[in-house]
Structure 1
Amino acid sequence: MSSSLRTPFTPAVPVVAPKPFLLTPHQGEAARALLAHVSALPLTTADAQLLATVVTIRAARAGVGNLTGQDVRSLRLADPEGAVTAFAALGWQGYEALLGGDLVTPVGVIVPDLSGQPESALHFGKLMRSRVSGWTVRTLSAKPVKKTSTAARLAALFLAAHGPADEHGTLPAHLPGHCRAALPELLDKGFLRELDGDRYLLAEAVRHLSGMRPLPDVQPATRDEPEAEGPSWQEWKDRASVALRRHVEAVESCPECALSTARVSEAFMRKALPAQFGEKARTAYGVWAAKYPDQGPAAAESAAAFRALHGHGPSVKQLCTALGWGKMSRQLRIHVIRRLIAEGWLTNTDPVPWTLRPGKAAQTGTAAAAPVAARRG
């Protein structure tokens, strides 16, 4: 009797493409130069050093770093007033306006050492400054970092800039002492995979933040940077219409939402893509509709109340959460809200975020007629 070997069935594991690196090797050098410059400033607290990092990269090209009170708030400093007043020892100018209650108006902090001249401390080109600034924002808002202490978030910048993507790195010599003390936080939160004395390894989830990405097998002939780049957040706002700018500022300065600048800018600047709803999403909607019938009036009322309190409409997620609809996938949330819009209970200014408001059905008290087929999903 013959027998044949059978290979046990192994289900295919989906391959998740790694996130693209944010910095080229040359831009990684610039990020390390930025942090070395900040660490050499006569500042003693993590709050002051982190705020100085943000100001410095924004001022690296012309000597003036523009930021708002909301930018300072989004850094979640333990002592923001102390961090701002520490700039007096640096000879910086104009920072006093950040201590007022205005969260929206940009304040130009003058950094004399970064005059924009070739001999200035950090002479970055437009694209270089923009990319390193974006990397700073993305690193500070990375999921394993954003709820840690100021010292840990500052340490994350140093370790990401100096850490190889797939190899052990060595703690930089100019890493501030309070950052060293906060390294266990980064290990506990999953920013670091390993920490052993002065050696560390970035976690897989943040390897794309590395300032020392692996070099390609074939080196390019030059280190020229791409010519084209998108507008910065400030440039995008400057180009917006008066009405859109007013709406952006309402969201950006909303004390109830307290959203970070990175979160707001990403939502407004990202390219709108049409949502596709497959059979799974339609089935999930049917289950939801059976559990939460006739939600139109409540949704319209909640959107109106949110707008009255915040000065702007809710996001899709904020509205679904406020209505207590339980755990929902992003696709289901979008599907539900779009159905309520189609039925006239809600409306929005698509694709502008945070614009949900009551629709015509809520104003007249009757739902707009919807085809039976549409109601069935």
Structure 2
Amino acid sequence: MLLDISAAVHARTVLEYVAVHSPDPEAEVRLAVLMLTLRAARAGTGNITGQDLTGWLQGDAERVLQQLVAADWLRLSGTVADVMASRSEDTTAITVPTLLPEQPRPFTFGKNNRARISGWAQKVVGDRKIRKKKLGATARLLALYTAAHTRPDDRLGHPEDDGLPVDQVAAFCTLPPEQVGENAELLIAADWLTEADTDQGRLRGQLTERILPLGGLL
């Protein structure tokens, strides 16, 4: 299990934080904000490369990065073009002002849990079958949300809740509630979920066997 119970709780806290504090509700922006927040969660600073961004956002990466800089949500040590050209041997320093130490601290996890959660999110977003299917930011957000909200039998939600509230899932993924089902179908096609239904306002489903290590225990 990549996430132990403590790390899983912190991962869900980050998802909730990003849903509230993303400067724009667009799915591509929210996905970038999530991944960058995890890079900078401890001290408000971190490092990224153009390869990171294109891996998360494909052709939208430069546009989204410019949007985050324009909103002053993100500050770069160079230009947007510098970031997009950077590689692993020449990373670009970033600052997320709202996460700097002098700001109220939204997270309480330490260095190890930050790295664990960041690695978990990277594995979800970079999953080979999700990439092969060329799923966009909305489906990747849904993959993150479903992975973070599984119980020990690998089904979605607490046993007593009969799945996840569709409206909450939709709000995180920046989807109309009626589109949650079709995006869940995309995850079934990508061998992420074995099944899914959205009857009576609940998203029910189960992670596939290959995704079990990414489940966050409720």
TM-score (norm 2): 0.78
Structure 1, gaps ≥5 residues long? 1-20, 214-377
Separation in 2, partners of 1:34, 1:99? 28
Tell me the SS of whatever aligns to 1:124: coil
1:177 aligns with 2:174: yes
2:46 maps to 1:46: no
Partner residue of 2:2?
Answer: 22
- The structure carrying a bigger strand percent of its residues is 2
* CA–CA distance in structure 2, aligned partners of residues 141 and 165 of structure 1: 24
Q: 1:66 to 1:208 in 2, by over 3 A?
A: same
Aligned-pair RMSD on alpha carbons? 2.3
Instruction: Judge conservation of contact 1:47–1:150 (CA < 8 Å) in 2.
Output: yes
Match for residue 14 of structure 2? 34
Matching residue's letter, 1:97: T
1:74: Cα distance to partner? 2.1
Going from structure 1 to structure 2, the CA distance change for 1:63 and 1:74 (only over 3 Å counts) comes to same
How many residues are aligned here?
Answer: 193
**Offset at residue 34 of structure 1 (A):** 1.1
Separation (CA, whole Å) in 1 of partners of 2:42 and 2:151: 27
- Residue 99 to residue 155, structure 1, CA distance change in 2 (3 Å): farther
1:164 correspondence with 2:151? yes
Please name the residue that 2:81 is paired with.
99
User: TM-score, with normalisation over the residues of structure 1?
Assistant: 0.47
Matched, 1:199 2:190: no
1:112 aligns with 2:93: no
Q: Of the two, which has the highest radius of gyration?
A: 1
User: Is there any run of 5+ residues in structure 2 with no aligned partner, and where?
Assistant: 157-162
* 1: CA distance, partners of 2:196 / 2:128: 19
Equivalent pair of 2:154/2:215 in contact (CA under 8 Å): no
Contact 1:166 1:202 in 2 (8 A): no
- The one-letter code sitting in structure 1 at the alignment partner of 2:75 is Q
Mapping for residues 1-377 of structure 1, pairs under 5 Å: 21-40=1-20, 41-87=22-68, 88-89=70-71, 91-94=73-76, 97-100=79-82, 101-104=84-87, 105-116=90-101, 119-147=104-132, 148-169=135-156, 170-171=163-164, 173=168, 174-178=171-175, 180=180, 182-197=183-198, 198-212=203-217
Tell me, yes or no, if the aligned pair for 1:78 and 1:150 is still in contact at 8 Å.
no
Q: CA deviation at 1:51?
A: 1.4
Moved more, 76-85 or 187-196: 76-85
Q: Could you tell me whether the CA contact under 8 Å between 1:69 and 1:102 is conserved in 2?
A: yes
What amino acid is the match of 2:188?
Answer: L
C-alpha contact (below 8 Å) 1:116/1:123 kept by paired residues: no
Indicate conservation of the 8 Å contact 2:73/2:98, yes or no.
Answer: no
Distance 1:61 1:70, change over 3 A: same
The 1:83/1:30 distance shift into structure 2, 3 A limit, reads same
Matched letter for residue 89 of structure 1: A
1:196-222 CA-partner distances (Å, limit 9, x unpaired): 102121111101101117xxxxxxxxx
CA contact (8 A) 1:193 1:201 kept: yes
Larger RCO (CA within 8 A; separation ≥ 6): 2
Cα distance in 2 for partners of 1:46, 1:23 equals 24
Higher helix share: 2
Name the amino acid aligned to 1:79.
Answer: D
91 and 150 in structure 1: CA distance in 2 versus 1, 3 angstrom threshold: closer
Please give the alpha-carbon distance, in whole angstroms, between the structure 1 residues aligned to 2:146 and 2:44.
26
